[in-house]
Amino acid sequence: MRKVAGISRWAHLLYLGNLAWAPVFDPGTTWWDWALVAVVVVAFVPMYVLAWHRPDLVRWRCTVPTVLLGALVTPFNTGAAVLFVYAGAFAGLSESRRVAMRWFVGLTALIGLFAVVSTVEMPYRLWGLLPSLIFLWLVGVLQVEWAERDREAAELRIRTARVEHLATLAERERIARDLHDLLGHTLTAVVLRAQLVSADPSRAREEAAEIERMARAALGEIRDAVTGWRSASLDTELEAARATLTSLGVEVVVHRDADLSIVGSTEHELALALREAVTNVARHAQAKTCHIGIEAREGELRLVIADDGIGGHAPEGNGLTGVRERIAALGGLVRRTASPGTTVTIAVPLRVAT
């Protein structure tokens, strides 16, 4: 297709043959007339080639010089008005529709001027100018349409590339958050189980089996996270939270509104938020009691994790930052208070959650 387009562009130079009509049919033609035709062709062809290879330079390197060349030659050879057609095509190629139309009007006025002041006799003067006037608008408008179509296609490609780039970044962030949630929680639980084995060798077999089960489950969840099919459950996370914290000697109190029916996407994000909060309690809080509440209040679904430990004034890590991003995507927010212990409140609008 590019080769065909290139051949077609070169073929358009054949219209420069209009310059030869006057010398051919004028009995008074001299060598000077043919020399003028040759000079015009030699001067114009490089500008024509440049217009297709450097569209950013067209206005000042092609359109304006072509108009000036045509203005200098047309009074003596009305066939040179074809240069105004080329100038119109250049304007359509490089300018917006509004600016191109202004060029067409200006070139039309210029052709009208030369219809009055040309040295070529009538009716040959009109025969040389009228075809150029007609083709100026035909070619120019067509070039505007083609240029706009090409620009729209280029913009569409850019937008598509941006969407693909943003989608890739979003997917990477999702996988990073999921892996952080999975590995942070699982490795914390494995470390805690290993510590229990060290403290009480009689529980080694039981804890080793639990560690193996947790590791296998984590592997499966990691695969699901990478493939995008991972879906966390609040019930599962509540059971895991109870098991993990109880093994550390933390009393877990759960209050859940039995009438709440949560949509899958929201439940997934809340379950991951619960996992992160419980992991932080296990790692840092040194708490005796942890209260977990799930209820609807004031138009919001609220998940509250409150402990009586010492971790309340610790700086936020990547895990809680990831939770904020997840919940913000649902139109909700995360609040963290420390008086005493730590209370993390995750609130999502009920219209999104149910």
- For 143-180, how does the pLDDT look when each residue is reduced to its tens digit (9 = 90+)? 888 878 877 777 777 776 676 666 666 667 766 666 66
How much is the pLDDT for 91? 85
- pLDDT at position 186 is 67
The beta strand positions in 10-130, using DSSP E, are none
In the predicted structure, residue 41 carries a pLDDT above the cut 90: no
Name the 3-class secondary structure at 308. Answer: coil
Cis peptide preceding 27, ω within 30 of 0: no
For residues 79-106, give the mean pLDDT: 85
* 48 has pLDDT over 70: yes
| pLDDT value of residue 3 | 41
Between CA 175 and CA 327 the distance in angstroms is: 16
pLDDT of residue 304: 92
Report percent pLDDT > 90 for the chain: 6
| Statement: the pTM of the whole predicted model exceeds 0.75 | no
Structure tokens at 341: 């212990």
Write out the CATH class of domain 234-349: alpha beta
Q: How far from the centroid of its chain's Cα atoms is residue 106's Cα?
A: 40
Q: For residue 72, count CB atoms less than 10 angstroms from its CB and return exposed for 0-12, middle for 13-18, buried for 19 or more.
A: middle
Q: Dig out the tokens for 249 from the structure.
A: 């000697």
Q: Which pLDDT belongs to residue 2?
A: 41
Q: Which pLDDT belongs to residue 54?
A: 80
At 1 the pLDDT is: 40
Instruction: Return the pLDDT at 293.
Output: 92
Q: So what's the pLDDT on residue 314?
A: 63
pLDDT for res 292: 93
Average pLDDT of 304-319? 77
Q: What is the mean pLDDT of residues 254-278?
A: 85
Sheet hosting strand 300-307, strand order edge to edge: 251-256, 289-297, 300-307, 342-349, 333-337
Q: What does the alpha-carbon distance between residue 240 and residue 305 come to, in Å, rounded to a whole number?
A: 14
Is the N-terminal amide bond of 123 cis, ω within 30° of 0? yes
Average pLDDT over residues 87-104: 85
Q: Where in the chain is the domain with CATH 3.30.565.10?
A: 234-349
Q: What is the pLDDT of residue 291?
A: 92
- Minimum mean pLDDT range among 57-66, 188-197, 258-267, 328-337: 188-197
pLDDT band for 114, please (50, 70, 90 cuts).
confident
Question: Picking from 38-42, 44-48, 211-215, 304-308, which range would have the lowest pLDDT averaged per residue?
Answer: 211-215
Worst-scoring range by mean pLDDT, 98-102, 125-129, 237-241, 340-344? 125-129
Query: What per-residue confidence (pLDDT) applies to 200?
Result: 63
Measure the CA–CA gap between 53 and 25, rounded to whole angstroms: 36
pLDDT for residue 252 is more than 80 = yes
Token pair for 108: 């039309």
User: What pLDDT score does 139 carry?
Assistant: 85
| Range picked from 117-121, 190-194, 202-206 for highest mean pLDDT | 117-121
Q: How many CB atoms lie within 10 A of CB 220?
A: 12
| Whole-number pLDDT of residue 240 | 84
